[in-house]
Structures are given as C-alpha cells and as structure tokens.
Amino acid sequence: MRETTEAIVGAATGALASPRSLLLGRYDEGGRLRYAGRTTTLTQEASRTLAGLLSPAQPGHP
C-alpha cells in the first residue's frame, strides 16, 4: 500500500541552475511551513527541467 500527500518545495540542494534534490514542507495547523522530507537525488533530466522553474527565495520566505 502506498500513501501520498501534498507538499511544498521549500528549497533545493545544489545550484538553482542544476538542483540535486528538493526539500519539501507541509503547513501545520498554525499555518507554518514545516520540513517534511526530501527527494532522492534528481536525474539529470529532472534537474534540467526543474532548473527553469526554480527561483531564489524572496524576503519573508520561511
């Protein structure tokens, strides 16, 4: 049996131009983003695809 849930990409390891893995979070009952886990190492293809979608954190980013 497999269980799934939604998560927010909160950060990436490695350079934004070639991320190695993604750090994931979920909002708690108080509305705070909490660390939930990370992906496995991304394939080169996934890294290239995600590089175009990621941007540096803005002020106020948790």
Q: Tell me the pLDDT tens digit for each residue of 6-56.
A: 899 888 999 999 999 999 999 999 999 899 999 999 999 999 999 999 888
| Structure confidence at residue 57 (pLDDT) | 81
Does residue 33 sit within a domain?
A: yes
| Structure confidence at residue 59 (pLDDT) | 87
Does residue 12 sit within a domain?
A: yes
Domain that holds residue 44: 8-51
| Structure confidence at residue 60 (pLDDT) | 79
Does residue 58 sit within a domain?
A: no
Does residue 56 sit within a domain?
A: no
Number of domains present in the structure of the chain: 1
Question: Does the pLDDT of residue 3 top 90, yes or no?
Answer: no
Does residue 61 sit within a domain?
A: no
In whole angstroms, how far apart are CA 32 and each of 7, 35, 55?
Answer: 13, 10, 21
| Structure confidence at residue 55 (pLDDT) | 86
Does residue 3 sit within a domain?
A: no
pTM of the model: 0.76
